Amino acid sequence: MAGTRKVTVSTDAHGHTAGWSEAPSAPATTVPPDPTAAAFFDVDNTMMQGASIYWFARGLAARKYFTTGDLARFAWQQARFRLLATEHAGDMSQAKEAALAFVQGWRVDDIERLADEIFDELMAPRIWAGTRRLAQRHLDAGERVWLVSAAPVEIGRVIAARLGLTGAIGTVAEVVDGAYTGRLVGDLMHGPAKAEAVTQLAAVEGLDLDRCAAYSDSANDLPMLSAVGRAVAVNPDPALLRQARERGWDVRDFRTGRRAVRIAVPSTAAAGLLAGAVTAGLALHRRRHREA
């Protein structure tokens, strides 16, 4: 996959920033495009079993960016954080700092190359076939389909491209001369930020949000689900399932037998901590490489 970074960044009147990136090639369709309708899919546990950042970390571990001991220590730190922390402002600050460190010094084309490889190895087998069919129905109707994820927008773009979707909305990291600086452009793509990003994209692309749909597994995405005309709870957590029933939203559950164990991190703060774990592994790998 080409490593060219094509990220559109938009800031609204309130200073909220969103970034989106179209997939390298537009999905093929035999029907006239619908210029005012689109669908927005959360990624973790909605389109994919588990979290994209988790599988990315697993792929890096397989490439010796981590040792087994490193991963065990990072996993313990993450588990402890999940047990003790709540998503208040301080936690979000920690998550943002971890996300900043995650990509610092890395080149965009390296991240996209690794994400492309790791998609085939670890992500593709974990795409929910039912959710993928839902996305395809929108494409077959001539509608655009966007992924919406807290992951770096470049990783989201790789996933969207491999699934034949329109593109991805994600967290935007600042890039200078093809490398990440370790600073974010805007905030993590989470919670209300997703709704703001969808609204901004709709304004730029001429979408009618009343004709759009959104899909998610998490109550954290209630703002995005409430921003569109049709909301669908996919593999919902208990809080979202309650809201979906109260509001009369469609519910789709593609989990079979015992409910799938959520390998994904359910909170942004914990997700940021996992990104920090990835960062530490990358830094350790670079240090060992220099000392070798």
Tens digits of residue pLDDT in 25-75: 655 667 789 999 999 999 999 999 988 887 887 888 888 876 666 556 655
What pTM did the predictor assign? 0.81
| Mean pLDDT of the 283-289 span | 52
Q: Looking at residue 260, what DSSP letter applies?
A: P
120: annotated active-site residue: no
To the nearest 5 percent, what fractions of the chain are helix, strand and coil? 50, 20, 30
Residue 194's pLDDT is what? 93
Least confident of 119-133, 175-189, 210-224: 175-189
Give 288's contacts (C-beta < 8 A, 6+ positions apart).
none
Residue 221's pLDDT is what? 95
42: annotated active-site residue: yes
Partners of 20 in beta bridges: 8, 169
Residue 265's pLDDT is what? 39
Give 123's contacts (C-beta < 8 A, 6+ positions apart).
48, 52, 55, 159
Tens digits of residue pLDDT in 241-255: 999 999 999 999 998
Give 261's contacts (C-beta < 8 A, 6+ positions apart).
none
Catalytic residue among 34, 44, 70, 253: 44
Longest alpha-carbon distance in the chain: 60
Cα–Cα distance measured from residue 46 to residue 48, given in angstroms and rounded to the nearest whole number = 6
Q: How many CB atoms lie within 10 A of CB 109?
A: 16
Q: Answer yes or no: are the C-beta atoms of 140 and 31 closer than 8 Å.
A: yes
Higher confidence at residue 122 or residue 55? 122
Cα–Cα distance measured from residue 193 to residue 38, given in angstroms and rounded to the nearest whole number = 18
What distances in angstroms separate CA 189 from CA 16, 163, 281, one per listed residue?
11, 21, 23
Catalytic residue among 12, 34, 42, 208: 42
Tens digits of residue pLDDT in 71-105: 566 555 545 444 444 444 445 555 555 555 556 78
Q: Residue 239 pLDDT more than 60?
A: yes
Q: Looking at residue 61, what DSSP letter applies?
A: H
